[in-house]
Amino acid sequence: MPTNEQRRAAAKRKLERQLERREAQAKRRRQLTIIGSAVGAVALVAAVVATVVITNRDSGSTTASAATTTSGAASSGQEPPADGSALPAFKPPADLGADCQYPAAEAASKKNNPPRTGKVPTDPAQVSASMTTSEGNLGLQLDNGKAPCTVNSFASLAQQDYFNDTPCHRLTTGGLAVLQCGDPTGKGTGGPGYEFANEYPTNQFQPDDPALQQPVIYPRGTLAMANAGPGTNGSQFFLVYQDSQLPPNYTVFGTIDETGLATLDKIAAAGVQGGGGDGPPAKPVQIKTLGLD
């Protein structure tokens, strides 16, 4: 017969498990999104500042953030800005691709098998992929030489047709210029059932570096991961169609070709549902296929 001490210990373990489950559920209810940081205005320097408010319609929770973009539809070949806010030069970390881990998260929004873990190759440095949508085609170059753990996950999902027949659920215009895709639910809260850590440019900084809170320019033509905080990358990604400033907390893992940029420009020109600056595209965008070439 269990003693009082054993009963208390069992009750404590049960409570701890309940709290862990609740915390995991609450964490996953937060919408995976692109979070910017407020940028202070500087005298005599014109800046376009847009506040981006993301609401999780399922949980009712709200995450507020701000971001800036340069004016105009600047190309990815633009000279780095004089204020030093370009993405940092890539310096390969000693452990690049040495131990890719994909710990389990909430149940997958669409059935898939997690990618292989451990060491993954960084060669070839570039991997080609094609994305066909209801609004046009996009050619992608995945940067395996800079973000191998991310490309490993993205390629695994693409090879399993995870992205096929899924919506691009979010378009932002004005302040932040991106199209966000990769959630089979179309609500901004879905994922593949696992998570993984950030890579470039986050890994170019020490974890406590204040620079991680300062915006850098994610150039037009950038392919990057959306997340809900450190270590929460999953399947959602965003495509940048105008230079946008964000803290370097979103893994850049590829680029978009000229055909893809033309497709994004067409989607952006149609605007956001309801005429706002952030929400579902006014003309629904559906990924028909996304696979490796």
Whole-number Cα distances in Å, 29 to 62, 84, 107, 269: 11, 36, 12, 31
Structure tokens at 153: 């996950």
Structure tokens at 252: 């850049």
Which pLDDT score is estimated for 29?
52
Confidence of residue 85 (pLDDT cuts 50, 70, 90): confident
**Residue type at 244 in one-letter notation:** S
For every residue of 64-133, DSSP letters joined together read EEEEEE-SS---TTSPPPTTS-BPPPP---TTTTTSB---B-SPPSS--PPPP-B-----SSEEEEEEEE
| Residue 69: pLDDT over 50 | no
| Residue 39: pLDDT over 70 | no
Q: 8-12, 173-177, 185-189: which has the highest mean pLDDT?
A: 185-189
Nearest to 167 by CA among 156, 179, 152: 179
Nearest to 247 by CA among 204, 276, 285: 204
| Residue 275: pLDDT over 80 | yes
| Residue 290: pLDDT over 70 | yes
Which pLDDT score is estimated for 174?
81
**Cβ proximity of 267 and 283 under 8 Å:** yes
Q: Which of 7-11, 23-27, 182-186, 208-212 has the lowest mean pLDDT?
A: 23-27
Which pLDDT score is estimated for 254?
98
151, containing H or E segment: helix 148-159
194/103 Cα distance (integer angstroms): 5
What's the DSSP call for residue 157? H
Which domains, and CATH codes, for the chain? 31-292 (2.40.100.10)
Residue 61 pairs in a beta bridge with: none
230-246 pLDDT tens trace: 999 999 999 999 999 99
- The better pLDDT of the pair 127, 26 is held by 127
Q: Is the pTM of this model over 0.85?
A: no
Confidence of residue 41 (pLDDT cuts 50, 70, 90): very low
Q: What strands lie across the sheet with 237-240, from one edge to the other?
A: 166-168, 285-292, 126-133, 136-143, 252-256, 222-225, 237-240, 178-181, 170-172, 278-279
9's CB contacts (< 8 A; 6+ apart) are none
Confidence of residue 175 (pLDDT cuts 50, 70, 90): confident
**Could you tell me how many residues make up the chain?**
293
